[in-house]
Amino acid sequence: MINIKEEIAKAIAASVNLDEKELVNYIEIPPNSDLGDFAFPCFKLAKELKKAPPIIANEIKENITIDTKILEKIEIQGGYLNFYINKQTLAKEVLTEVDNKKEKYGSVNVGKGKNLVIEYSSPNIAKPFHIGHLRSTVIGGALYKINSFLGYNTIGINYLGDWGLQFGKVMAGLELWKSEYNLEENTIDAILKIYIRFNKEEKENPEMTDLARKAFKKLEDGDEEAKKTWEWLRSLSLENYEKTYNLLNAKFDSYNGEAYYNDKMDPIVEELKQKKLLVESQGAQVVDLEEFGMPPCIVITSAGTTIYATRDITALLDRIKTYNFEKMIYVVGSEQKLHFSQIFKVVELMGYGDYVKRCKHVPFGLVVDKDGEKIGSRKGNSVSLEDILNEAIEKVKNIINEKNPDLEDKDEVARKVGVGAIIFNDLSNSRIKDEIFDWDMLLNFQGETGPYIQYIYVRTKSVLSKAGYVPNIKDVDFSKITEKEAMNIIKLLYSFSDVVIQSAEKNEPSIVSRYLIDLAQSFSNYYNEYHIITDEKTLQDARLYLTYAVGTVLKTGAELLGMEMPERM
């Protein structure tokens, strides 16, 4: 397919004798199609060419060579050059590419032969999978799919929190109070209650922290009883999490959690000592980061135990060796910003700076309740994600029973729509914003939502089903779909690949979400304005193929976010 931005940049570069690779980044899409399909802001060249933008615009227009098969005309608006695309050519290019690639339309191989590692979800074991884990799971899952779509060999790691002091708290709490709780039924819930109780009592009695440290030290030293308890809780937790992962269609290539690195930390600590990076501070072994504007990074605590920073340093070095990655993405909440800054700096000081440059902490906002309080297990206000997903499914099922009781596969449709609504709600806004957990907001099936995109997709399928066929691309007369509403759709379809690339570069799935809303709304406008099934076969074929293309891209885009599309609603 013709890259129109590159063609425009090439033509401008030839007229002003500048690098086209730099110019292509300046080309914009005007907010109003009356101002053209693409625009070049000439003020970007004012300093280099030492001329006023309107003068530059006039000179380029006079000297540029236009391929009329690509561009119909060029106009000047202030300091902008506005380019108008040949509508018929664009329609042919886009729809022929859809025909060639089908569900792979928009994919490119920018990541071919490169490993990209993503750490996401990563819940702490011995606790239920609550709403606070949703964000990392769906953001990471979307980035996994988006980067795979761009050709990367993507490796998803569920870095389980199955080691450390928080686990010592669970073990110490079990030792103190297990007789007071029913561990035979709802085991995970009982353990959560013990964990919450321990944290509350710890605030009143600091000696509880020492109990937790001792319990964890026993585990770290290989105590058989402690190890059995750990294995039991890990297995129980994973079994519990899989129910939620199955609902979210979330999959991972590795479940190597913190415990995986227990026998790999000693050589790393020794390397830190040999490189004279470890210093003693209040009985602990730390890397002094004061000159970099950060507090010290604790590697060995005053009690002689490792800490999560020790394991994260070890994990990063192990991943460098195992995957030789092009990129390493950590999808972890924004409150861990300092932690990752410390980890990256320590690994850089160890001599692995080239790899550290390839690492990226992808932060996201919290899930908060209506009062703005963080939802988490320590305070006891956690909400089971499995319960939320099941309730969403049930609410959708009630809507189906009310509005379309004869619908086939109601349970399957309700699952796809209910889960899709929650996934899309999470990914519809910038990931850095806090997400308010509010049932009315989560399950709002009106407006710019996942169910709306699914509904428009189902509408495209319904139109094609009513017609009884998808036209052969050879039978499509592209001149029949050059009206403004059709061209709005075609231009959006044309931009799909750029949208996916931008989403990957910025680690921002909401760019894809916003695009899907725009495409769905554009098709809705077209559908309301024109009859797709008509008496004129040539016109019908063109409109039907455009409908097919919209449905194809809506489905592909939704699947990149982790949503499934129902065939009927």
- Dihedral-angle region of residue 189 (phi above 0 means left; psi in -120 to 50 means alpha; beta otherwise): alpha
**In this structure, are 173 and 317 located in the same domain?**
yes
Beta strand segments in 235-277, E: none
Name the helix (H) or strand (E) containing 552. Answer: helix 537-561
Residue 201 domain-assigned?
yes
**In this structure, are 73 and 144 located in the same domain?**
no
Residue 555 domain-assigned?
no
> What CA dihedral angle connects 271, 273, 276 and 279, to 10 degrees?
140
Neighbours of 63 (CB within 10 A): 12
Residue 12 domain-assigned?
yes
- 531 catalytic residue (yes or no): no
**In this structure, are 121 and 56 located in the same domain?**
no
**In this structure, are 43 and 125 located in the same domain?**
no
- Dihedral-angle region of residue 106 (phi above 0 means left; psi in -120 to 50 means alpha; beta otherwise): left
User: CB burial class (10 A; 0-12, 13-18, 19+) of residue 88?
Assistant: middle
Among 368, 394, 409, the domain boundary falls at 368
**In this structure, are 79 and 119 located in the same domain?**
no
> Are 216 and 199 spatial neighbours (Cβ–Cβ below 8 Å)?
no
Active-site residue (options: 5, 87, 130, 480):
130
What does each of the 569 residues of the chain score in pLDDT, given as a tens digit? 888 889 999 999 988 878 888 898 899 888 888 889 999 999 989 988 899 999 999 999 998 887 888 888 999 998 999 999 999 999 999 999 999 999 999 999 999 999 999 999 999 888 778 787 899 999 999 999 999 999 999 999 999 999 878 888 999 999 999 889 888 877 888 888 898 899 899 999 989 999 998 998 888 888 999 999 999 989 988 988 998 999 998 999 999 999 999 899 999 999 999 999 999 999 999 999 999 999 999 999 998 888 899 999 999 999 999 999 999 999 999 999 999 999 999 999 999 999 999 999 999 988 776 777 766 544 445 568 888 899 899 999 999 999 899 999 999 999 999 999 999 989 998 898 877 766 666 566 667 899 999 999 999 999 999 999 999 999 999 999 999 999 999 999 999 999 999 999 999 999 999 999 999 999 999 999 999 999 999 999 999 999 999 999 999 999 999 999 999 98
Among 70, 85, 100, the domain boundary falls at 85
Give the residue among 490, 470, 479, 463 at the shortest CA–CA distance from 545. Answer: 470
Q: Which residues contact 139 (CB under 8 A, 6 or more apart)?
A: 120, 331, 362, 364, 426, 427, 431, 509
> Are 310 and 299 spatial neighbours (Cβ–Cβ below 8 Å)?
yes
- Full residue range of the structural domain in which residue 39 is found: 4-85
How many H helices and E strands in the chain? 22, 12
Active-site residue (options: 127, 169, 361, 480):
127
Residue 344 domain-assigned?
yes
Based on its alpha-carbon atoms, the radius of gyration of the chain, rounded to whole angstroms, reads 28
The tally of domains found in the chain comes to 2
Q: What is the reported pLDDT for 439?
A: 62
Residue 335 domain-assigned?
yes
CATH number of 264's domain: 3.40.50.620
**In this structure, are 156 and 21 located in the same domain?**
no
User: CB burial class (10 A; 0-12, 13-18, 19+) of residue 96?
Assistant: middle
**In this structure, are 40 and 81 located in the same domain?**
yes
Residue 478 domain-assigned?
no
Beta strand 115-119 with 153-157 is parallel
- 339 catalytic residue (yes or no): no
**In this structure, are 150 and 210 located in the same domain?**
yes
Residue 402 domain-assigned?
no
Q: What is the reported pLDDT for 443?
A: 60
Q: Which two tokens stand for residue 562?
A: 């982790």
For residue 209, give Cα distances in angstroms to 126, 173, 213, 431.
Answer: 18, 11, 6, 34
**CA atoms within a 13 Å half-sphere pointing along the CA-CB vector of 107:** 20
Q: Which two tokens stand for residue 13?
A: 């570069």
**In this structure, are 76 and 171 located in the same domain?**
no
Q: What is the reported pLDDT for 377?
A: 45
Q: Which residues contact 506 (CB under 8 A, 6 or more apart)?
A: none
Residue 155: beta bridge partners? 117
Active-site residue (options: 5, 92, 133, 145):
133
Residue 326 domain-assigned?
yes
Among 317, 342, 368, the domain boundary falls at 368
**In this structure, are 67 and 189 located in the same domain?**
no
